[in-house]
């Protein structure tokens, strides 16, 4: 991971912690979190489409990069439109996004184990994300305020994991 990418990961983690604080502190926290999430998806979509246009057009798997860019752009636009619906729907949408990201981390850990790379970090992080999303989902009907706190805590947890991953030492391979 390059130095600029490490700084970007730490900046994103700081935004995540700030978003968790906004979610807990204000009544409009859900709308702000949805707006940040939607903008993040759209920026990722534009970045993938730009990468496809500039470099990956003729590469193997280039069309999948274009399709994922269009998908992220579409999901980002959909997410931004969610700011005017009830908070419970927004919460379930955010939990779904969080559950899917935990599943992707879980699958990434299993794939890394097959390859022989470091897999425990991804596997444990994916299991914790899925566990927290499931806990938030099942306790929402009884304790809606606790779910907000659990979700904010899980966002802070993900931000801390992102910072740890950014500060982790990586091997540098020199090709001669």
State how many domains the chain has: 1
What SS3 string covers 41-83? HHHHHHHHHHHHHHHHCCCCCHHHHHHHHHHHHHHHHHHHHHH
The more confidently predicted of residues 100 and 85 is 100
- Residue 173 placed within a domain: no
Q: What is the mean pLDDT of residues 141-166?
A: 81
Q: What is the mean pLDDT of residues 150-165?
A: 85
- Residue 52 placed within a domain: yes
For residues 130 and 102, is the Cβ–Cβ distance under 8 A? yes
- Reduced to 3 states (helix: H, G, I; strand: E, B; else coil), residue 24 is helix
Asked whether the predicted pLDDT for residue 140 surpasses 80, the reply is no
- Residue 171 placed within a domain: no
The more confidently predicted of residues 90 and 147 is 90
Residue 65 belongs to domain spanning: 3-166
Cα–Cα distance measured from residue 55 to residue 34, given in angstroms and rounded to the nearest whole number: 31
Asked whether the predicted pLDDT for residue 175 surpasses 80, the reply is no
> What pLDDT sits at residue 174?
67
User: Could you read off the pLDDT of 38-82 as tens digits, one per residue?
Assistant: 888 899 999 999 999 988 888 887 888 889 999 999 989 988 888
Structure tokens given for 22: 């906004």
Asked whether the predicted pLDDT for residue 176 surpasses 70, the reply is no
Rounded to the nearest 5°, which phi and psi values hold at 60?
-65, 130
What 22-26 contacts at long range (C-beta under 8 Å, 24+ apart), as own/partner pairs, is 23/148, 23/151, 23/152, 23/155, 24/148, 24/149, 24/152
> What pLDDT sits at residue 70?
93
- Residue 87 placed within a domain: yes
Spatial CB neighbours of 10, under 8 Å, sequence gap ≥ 6: 162, 163, 166, 167
- Residue 174 placed within a domain: no
First to last CA, the chain: 20
- Residue 172 placed within a domain: no
- Residue 175 placed within a domain: no
Average pLDDT along the chain: 83
The owner of tokens 């940040």 is 36
Asked whether the predicted pLDDT for residue 110 surpasses 80, the reply is yes
- Residue 176 placed within a domain: no
Q: What is the mean pLDDT of residues 18-24?
A: 84
pLDDT bin (cut points 50, 70, 90) of residue 4 is: confident
Structure tokens given for 87: 């908070």
> What pLDDT sits at residue 10?
92
Exposure class string for 72-95: b at 16+ Cβ within 10 A, else e:
bbebbeebbebeeeeeeebbebbb
Q: What is the mean pLDDT of residues 98-102?
A: 85
């Amino acid at each position: 991971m390059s130095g600029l990418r490490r700084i970007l990961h730490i900046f994103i983690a700081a935004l995540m912690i700030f978003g968790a604080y906004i979610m807990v502190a204000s009544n409009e926290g859900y709308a702000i979190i949805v707006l940040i999430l939607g903008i993040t998806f759209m920026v990722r979509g534009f970045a993938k489409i730009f990468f496809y246009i500039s470099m990956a057009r003729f590469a193997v798997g280039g069309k999948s990069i274009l399709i994922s860019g269009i998908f992220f752009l579409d999901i980002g636009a959909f997410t931004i439109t969610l700011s005017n619906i009830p908070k419970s729907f927004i919460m379930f949408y955010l939990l779904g996004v969080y559950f899917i990201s935990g599943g992707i981390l879980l699958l990434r850990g299993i794939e890394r184990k097959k390859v022989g790379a470091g897999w425990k970090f991804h596997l444990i992080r994916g299991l914790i994300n899925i566990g927290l999303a499931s806990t938030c989902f099942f306790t929402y009907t009884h304790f809606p305020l606790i779910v907000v706190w659990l979700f904010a805590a899980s966002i802070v947890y993900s931000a801390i994991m992102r910072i740890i991953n950014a500060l982790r030492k990586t091997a540098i391979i020199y090709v001669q």
